[in-house]
Structure 1
Amino acid sequence: MQEPPSSPTATTTTTTTTTIPTKFYLLLSTSLFSLLFILSLSIPHQPPSTYNPLSPSSLFPTHQPHRLLSDPPPDPPSPPTPPSIAYLISGSNNDSGRILRLLSSIYHPKNQYLIHLDRSAKQAERDALALAVQSVRLYRAAQNVNVIGKADFVYPRGSSSIAATLHGASILLRLPGKWDWFINLSAADYPLVTQDDLLHILAYLPRDLNFVNHTGYIGWRESRKLKPIIVDPGLYLVEKTELFYATQKRGLPDAYQLFTALNSSPNIYFEANHQPLPTRNST
């Protein structure tokens, strides 16, 4: 039997019903993808964790990667610049030999040296000492050794010794060479360490460090050193005379506190030797 032909109205209804769900699903999927894309842009991106519990950096926090033997070793830190020392070497009559011995043992081209023979020594000895210094080629090339031509009288128990030290320090300050520390030595001193070792130690210290030790404890010095009045002729006379004490005593000042100095720390590297130089007997 032949089926009756379908009507146009039924065909249109079926096509419309099939097209509407397809467009709906397509629109829904597009909206979901758009929403996911927008959310992915709004969330900050975090890199994936690379933590490995078995890695050397996790087991040993201070672990450093191994260096091949062919790699050059790292450069060591550069040592500090060595300082310069100004030496004042003082002596008296017949001390030229010991002064030259002390000078040769503490000499360094970076330092400055000033030699003072007091007026107890003859002018001929002072001139011979200056010629002996100039005869050394190293001293002459470095030009860092000087001899005071106009000497002063020095009394160890009087204030003229302090005046001579201050006079020598002022001359060293006027010389062209720069220095960091000042050390006062006598002809009876001799070093216990080399200058290279001493400069190496001082290179690691701040340049403004002062080695002058002092104390406010006066004690027995009040009656023996502070109150007695000592007249030092080395400050005002051109001829050497003996010290003498005044009969009166002075009182201690009340406007300021007195301090007494102790031995300076750099002097621990020198020892005092009051024995004269050995003489060679002529045959």
Structure 2
Amino acid sequence: MKRAHFPYSADRSWLLLPVLIISIISLTFLLTLTSTQTKPTSSESDFSFHRPKFTFSERDSDNLPKLPRFTYLISGTKGDGPHVKRLLQAVYHPRNYYLLHLDLEASDSKRLDLARYLI
């Protein structure tokens, strides 16, 4: 027995009210945000055109924060040796730490090849 196919034109008037309420709330929120922003004073706007030059001296380097160090765990399986090398080249930085792992499915020759690549 075949089902009667009705076109997809169900009454969706119940969707109109929530959409209208959300739109009004969003519009009110955006208007309050834009109206509470202060305009820059003349001294602030002049500053954007006359930026001071930044000079760096050795004594300033003590005040700067140390650069972050990241630790990477790069893992691979059988056949992933070239991918691991390429990924290592992409993320390498001398300050970072790297832990490379090839699982038991990778052959010993691939492990040695990766080790020789790193030396």
Q: TM-score, normalised by structure 2?
A: 0.47
Looking at secondary structure, tell me which structure has more strand per residue. Answer: 1
Looking at secondary structure, tell me which structure has more helix per residue. Answer: 2
Pick the structure with greater CA Rg: 1
* Greater RCO, CA 8 A, separation 6+: 2
